[in-house]
Amino acid sequence: MDIGIISSRYARALLEFACEREAEATVYQQTEIFLKRYAQIPGLRQTVENPMVRTEEKIKLLRNATAGDATCEELTRFFALLLENKREKMMVFILHSYLYLYRKKKRIRQGLLVTATPLPEETLERLKRIILHFYRGRSVEFETKVDPAIIGGGILGMGYWRVDASVAGQLKKVKQQFIEKNRRIV
């Protein structure tokens, strides 16, 4: 059994179903919420994969982990399909594949911004506008993390490129320069 093929087929089916019903953006947002909660709550996975728990209870649990009563019908029906076909163990792979296909279809670039302190919202918006200048015709999504270990500045990763403008990164470069210079002297 090839998990990649199965998950991509289910993800494509979910995307097509959501597009037919014009709910692909809602499914995308709720899928992101669900995957974050699924990673944060260790007992959720065990309960969903437990064969002793009834399907109705699993669906209720999955809806609560997503958006509660606001969970869209498309995602609820998809959860029911996965449970009916005994694909609980592949649910995370399938939903990650859905996110990938949705981003590819909507031309969304994802980035990670690591800073020493939280940035104000207007600074994030300005940074998005600058990056959108380079990625014409695409959207940009940022995941932001705060890491005091970088001392100051920030690290931005987008696709295959990374810009390290952190104080810790600059100190590391200076250290490497001193090491290289000392090697030449000896």
For residues 96 and 141, membership in a common domain is answered with no
pTM, to two decimals: 0.81
Domain boundary among 69, 86, 104: 104
Which domain range does residue 13 map to? Answer: 3-104
What mean pLDDT do residues 113-135 have? 89
pLDDT digits (tens, 9 = 90+) for 50-92: 989 999 999 999 999 998 888 899 999 999 999 999 999 999 9
Tell me: pLDDT of 186 over 70: no
Phi, psi torsion values for 2, nearest 5 degrees: -100, 110
E strands, 54-184, are 108-115, 139-146, 154-158, 161-164
| Pair 142, 111: CB distance under 8 Å | yes
For residues 117 and 170, membership in a common domain is answered with yes
For residues 93 and 116, membership in a common domain is answered with no
- Block residue for tokens 């590819």: 104
pLDDT digits (tens, 9 = 90+) for 97-120: 999 999 999 999 888 999 999 999
pLDDT of residue 2: 67
For residues 131 and 49, membership in a common domain is answered with no
What mean pLDDT do residues 26-30 have? 94
For residues 95 and 170, membership in a common domain is answered with no
Report the half-sphere exposure of 84 (CA within 13 A, side-chain side): 6
pLDDT of residue 181: 85
| CATH number of the domain that residue 123 is part of | 3.40.30
Instruction: Tell me the two tokens of residue 75.
Output: 């995602």
What mean pLDDT do residues 45-50 have? 90
Radius of gyration of the chain (CA): 21
| CATH number of the domain that residue 38 is part of | 1.10.520.20
**DSSP SS3 for 72:** coil
For residues 18 and 75, membership in a common domain is answered with yes
**Total domain count for the chain?**
2
